Amino acid sequence: MTNSSKQDPDREPIRILAPEGHKFSRRDLMKFAAVSTGAGLLGTHQDQFLLSHSSNLSALQAAAKRSLKAVGKINKNLYIYTWGQYDNPTTFSAFQSATGIQLQFGSYNSNEAMIAKLELAQGTAGYDIVVPTGGYIPEMVAKGLLLPLNKSKIPNFSKLDTKLLNFPWDPHNRYSIPKDYGTTGFIYDKTVITRKMTTWADFAKAAALPAVSGKVSLLDDPNDVMGIALWNSGIDWNTPKSSQLHAANKWLIKNLAPHVSNFDSYPGATGGLVNGSYVLSQAWNGDARQAILHAPKRFAWVVPEPASEIWVDNWAIAKGAKDLNTAYAFIDYVIDPVVAANELIYTGYSSPVSNVRNFLPKNLPAANMIFLTADQSKRLTSYVVNSSNNLRTQLYSEFKAATAAG
Amino acid sequence: MNTRGLRGFVAFSYLWYALWFIAPGLIMLVYAFGRTTGISQHGLVNLSHLGFSNFHTALANPARPILIISLEYTAIATALCGLIAFPVAYFLARKVQPRARAIMLLLVVLPFWTDYLLRMLGWRIFLSPLGLLYDALHGIGLNVASLSILDTRGAVMIGLVYNYLPLFILPLAVVLERIDPFLLQAADDLGASPRTIFRTVTLPLSMPGVIAGTILVFVPMLGDYVTPTLLGGARGLMVGSLIAAQFNEGQNWSLGAAMSIILVLILVGIVVACGAAAVGLRALAGRLRQRALAREMVAS
């Protein structure tokens, strides 16, 4: 996932227009939408669950104090630049109360926007912590936007699952610490689509059904949309070959453009699925889970064959960070198993912390959407920004123009 | 404030404007001739080889059809605004007491006190298949199962007209209110029917309001990207969203800059055309008046 916060039920201030720091939040919308459409209080179950199962405050505070001890002298402020509503609020409040460190936040809704801002400011933006998606890290390192990490200041690093370390986009995790990871798939309304759905070809075929066409949403993300065609035809998602990308886009324009009604990175959290605007949506697992939690019998989730995406979002320290020790203390804290569990319950995305499951409630709803099976993992790949990036965004514009014309 | 102080203040405002409006505009102009940097290079735009390639891209597929669609939408929505605004403004200016008029004008601008984004999201909810509109249509016995409004061009049109209508009503109401009642009375005294009075007095004299309304509505509407993004979904793509996408997900600032410059040029062209139309109309009116006068003199 390149273009938006994964879960971000709440804030993602409506993608493109995205006035940063807009007071309106997506979760508010969801409730409002649910009330006004008579669909019941969407999100309530989840909220009650959050209240009763979030890690308790003292455990979180103890974790914060442990992390603080490991780093030495600290500053009293930390500025975090991250995806809107991508963390459990109690994670932050416990850290603040235990350490006295004031946290400040800025939010963005695409890696590109975040990179552009850091690039413009050249270390003067005042941000200490940023949260890039894995595939963007090489670009950020090349542009000199990140600082290398001193892992002796992050003792909890040893608690991370080695399968989620040392990715090609950041060998030996010099610049980044995994925050969470998830997958791209699709969710559909079983009351409308009754056929068997397992592949991206099924997705395209279902989209063309009369009852479905015009009620289909795709992620608002060039690489995830391009992925559908590449995954479907067995081509490497990272291919830089112009001919393959053009052919893939042609396939998308022919098979999906006439049926797509919206580009929406949060069809679950924004209520598009629940209120019936979409009956078939490409989605990230944590977001799709929002719809499933609301109507488990109505929707089904598919991690499609033959291939799809696994993305990893990461904590990193921005160039120009004022106090590294404070940043280390924070990063160490958020990968403490207690804190990681608290985050997972909120976002619905898997954690890279090895034993996080020991800290989770037994009755986590729709847990099968959070944790990947070995079989699913085998068919998932990641995208790393490469030289074809400009072509990809240009093709995406063409695809969007074709859907507008269709 | 004495004249010198006033002059200083005016100079300051111009300077302020130049700094925060013209300077960024010039930066965009320069960017438009540059090239987007590679993913591992520094800086946003590479200015070492200037050229027109961004303008070619901005005027070729797929940007051109989007630009044309946007012009169509904007023209139609502006015309609809005008058609709806005229009777409303006429009523406000001529048919109600001053106090009632003040209240009604307040009602026209009231929606602007609420955040625009919020209002558009409200429309989304209202127009959604489980929303009130479908309930109401279903309630009066219509089959709404196959109806889709949200994420269509129709929804964009609804949103655009709704949102820009006050900008047409206000200047028109002001102009209509200022029409000298003695002119109307004179026409009436001379035996003109109400219809003739409207056609020959009210309508021509309201033209400055129509032109002002057209400009006030058309110019921001063409660059609007909130409405099409929120209500039109994939079908409602307009040039504003396309430009925003170049700066955001596209990371292609030079192309976005070129598209913006083209949009500005189109808008300048339209404003100039409207201005020319206004001047032309005034000249025409003057000539007609002279001819009428001459005819009267001959007759007498």
Quick check: B101 pLDDT over 70?
A: yes
Quick check: A84 pLDDT over 80?
A: no
Domain assignment present for residue B7? The answer is: no
| Mutation for testing the B interface, residue in A122, A262, A389 having most B CBs under 10 Å | A262
End-to-end CA distance of chain A: 26
pLDDT at A397: 85
CA separation for the pair A268, A300 (Å, rounded):
12
| Domain housing B288 | 15-299
Which pLDDT band holds residue B132 (cuts at 50, 70, 90)?
Answer: confident
Which residue from B97, B91, B238 is spatially nearest to B160, judged by alpha carbons? B238
**Is residue B145 packed enough to be buried (19+ CB in 10 Å), middle (13-18) or exposed (0-12)?**
exposed
Mean pLDDT of A281-297: 94
Quick check: A389 pLDDT over 90?
A: no
Mean pLDDT of A365-383: 92
Minimal C-alpha gap between B121 and chain A (Å): 8
Quick check: A254 pLDDT over 70?
A: yes
Q: State how many domains chain B has.
A: 1
End-to-end CA distance of chain B: 55
Query: Are the C-beta atoms of B125 and B131 separated by less than 8 Å?
Result: yes
Quick check: A143 pLDDT over 50?
A: yes
The tokens for A178 are: 């995994």
The tokens for A48 are: 């009650």
Query: Are the C-beta atoms of A392 and A385 separated by less than 8 Å?
Result: no
Residues in CB range of A231: below 8 A, 6 or more apart: A200, A237, A304, A306, A307, A308
Mean pLDDT of A104-133: 87
Which of A119-128, A335-344, B15-24 comes out lowest in average pLDDT? A119-128
Chain B, nearest residue to A119 by Cα: B43
Q: What are phi and psi of B145, to 5 degrees?
A: -60, -40
CA separation for the pair A300, A366 (Å, rounded):
11
Chain B CB contacts of A276 below 8 Å? 128-130
CA separation for the pair B139, B141 (Å, rounded):
5
Of the two residues A287 and A48, the one the predictor is more confident about is: A287
pLDDT at A49: 67
Query: Are the C-beta atoms of A157 and A336 separated by less than 8 Å?
Result: no
- Residue A108 is which amino acid? Y
The CATH number given to whatever domain includes residue B40 is: 1.10.3720.10
pLDDT in tens, B76-88: 999 999 999 999 9
Of the two residues B253 and B42, the one the predictor is more confident about is: B253
Quick check: A114 pLDDT over 80?
A: yes
SS3 assignment, position A284:
strand
Domain assignment present for residue B19? The answer is: yes
CB-closest option in B44, B61, B244 to A16 = B244
Chain A CB contacts of B150 below 8 Å? 277
The reply to whether omega before B220 is within 30° of 0 (cis) is no
pLDDT at A22: 31
Alpha helices per DSSP H over A235-356: 242-255, 285-294, 324-334, 337-347
- The helix (run of H) or strand (run of E) holding residue A37 is helix A26-37
Which residue is listed with tokens 């120009």?
Answer: A320
> Within 10 A of B216 (CB to CB), how many other CB atoms are there?
19
Q: Concatenate the DSSP letters of all residues of A79-122 into one string.
A: EEEEETT-S-HHHHHHHHHHH-PEEEEEEES-HHHHHHHHHHHT
**Paired strand residues for A300:** A188
pLDDT at B300: 66
Which pLDDT band holds residue A48 (cuts at 50, 70, 90)?
Answer: low
Domain assignment present for residue B2? The answer is: no
A32 at B interface, C-beta within 8 A: yes
Residues 27-56 of B with CB under 8 A from A: 36, 38-44
How far are the Cα atoms of A219, A223, B46, B50, B253 from residue B37, in angstroms, in the given order? 26, 19, 5, 13, 9
Chain A CB contacts of B117 below 8 Å? 14, 17, 19, 22, 24
The dotted CATH code for A182-309+374-405 is 3.40.190.10
CA separation for the pair B86, A294 (Å, rounded):
47
- CATH 3.40.190.10 domain extents, chain A: 26-181+312-366, 182-309+374-405
Whether residue A262 and residue B233 make contact (CB cut-off 8 A), yes or no, is yes
pLDDT in tens, A179-232: 999 999 999 999 999 999 999 999 999 999 999 999 999 998 889 999 999 999
Whether residue B234 and residue A400 make contact (CB cut-off 8 A), yes or no, is yes
Note the maximum CA span of chain A.
64
Domain assignment present for residue B165? The answer is: yes
Whether residue B245 and residue A19 make contact (CB cut-off 8 A), yes or no, is no
The sign of the CA dihedral B145, B151, B155, B159 is positive
pLDDT at A25: 38
The tokens for A270 are: 């924004």
Minimal C-alpha gap between A72 and chain B (Å): 34
pLDDT at B260: 94
CA separation for the pair A124, A142 (Å, rounded):
18
Domain assignment present for residue B159? The answer is: yes
ipTM of the predicted structure? 0.75
pLDDT at B39: 66
How far are the Cα atoms of A255, A340, B92 from residue A179, in angstroms, in the given order? 35, 8, 59
Mean pLDDT of chain A: 86
Whether residue A17 and residue B242 make contact (CB cut-off 8 A), yes or no, is no
Query: Are the C-beta atoms of A296 and B268 separated by less than 8 Å?
Result: no
Mean pLDDT of chain B: 88
Q: Concatenate the DSSP letters of all residues of B6-65 into one string.
A: HHHHHHHHHHHHIIIIIHHHHHHHHHTTSEEPPTTSSSSEE-SS--SHHHHHHHSTTHHH
pLDDT at B130: 78
The tokens for A146 are: 């990140």
Domain assignment present for residue B36? The answer is: yes
The share of chain A scoring above pLDDT 90, in percent, equals: 63
SS3 assignment, position A331:
helix
Of the two residues B38 and B53, the one the predictor is more confident about is: B53
Q: What is the CA radius of gyration of chain B?
A: 24
Query: Are the C-beta atoms of B105 and B173 separated by less than 8 Å?
Result: yes
CA separation for the pair B32, B56 (Å, rounded):
11
Q: What are phi and psi of A215, to 5 degrees?
A: -130, 40
pLDDT at A390: 83
pLDDT at A121: 81
CB-closest option in A37, A214, A400 to B148 = A214
Quick check: A30 pLDDT over 70?
A: no
Quick check: A395 pLDDT over 80?
A: yes
Q: Concatenate the DSSP letters of all residues of A165-227 into one string.
A: SS-TTSGGGSSEEEEEEEEEEEEEETTT--S---BHHHHHHHHTSTTTTT-EEE-S-HHHHHH
Residues 130-169 of A with CB under 8 A from B: 138-139, 142-144
Domain assignment present for residue B10? The answer is: no
Helix A389-405 × helix A222-232 angle, to 10°: 90
Which residue from B191, B179, B183, B212 is spatially nearest to B289, judged by alpha carbons? B183
Which residue from B193, B183, B156 is spatially nearest to B77, judged by alpha carbons? B156
Contacts of B56-60 with C-beta under 8 Å, sequence gap 24+, read: B57/A394, B57/B255, B57/B258, B58/B255, B58/B258, B58/B259, B58/B262, B59/B262
The share of chain B scoring above pLDDT 70, in percent, equals: 98
Which of A33-42, A144-153, A340-349, B262-271 comes out lowest in average pLDDT? A33-42
Quick check: A56 pLDDT over 90?
A: no
Quick check: B263 pLDDT over 70?
A: yes
Number of H helices, E strands in chain A: 14, 11
Chain B, nearest residue to A138 by Cα: B40
How far are the Cα atoms of A185, A226, A367, B53 from residue A390, in angstroms, in the given order? 25, 13, 37, 14
Which of A51-65, A152-166, A329-343 comes out lowest in average pLDDT? A51-65
Query: Are the C-beta atoms of A12 and A85 separated by less than 8 Å?
Result: yes
Q: What are phi and psi of A244, to 5 degrees?
A: -65, -40
Task: Determine whether domain A26-181+312-366 maps to CATH 3.30.1380.20.
Answer: no
The tokens for B299 are: 């007759």
Chain B CB contacts of A24 below 8 Å? 115, 117-118, 121
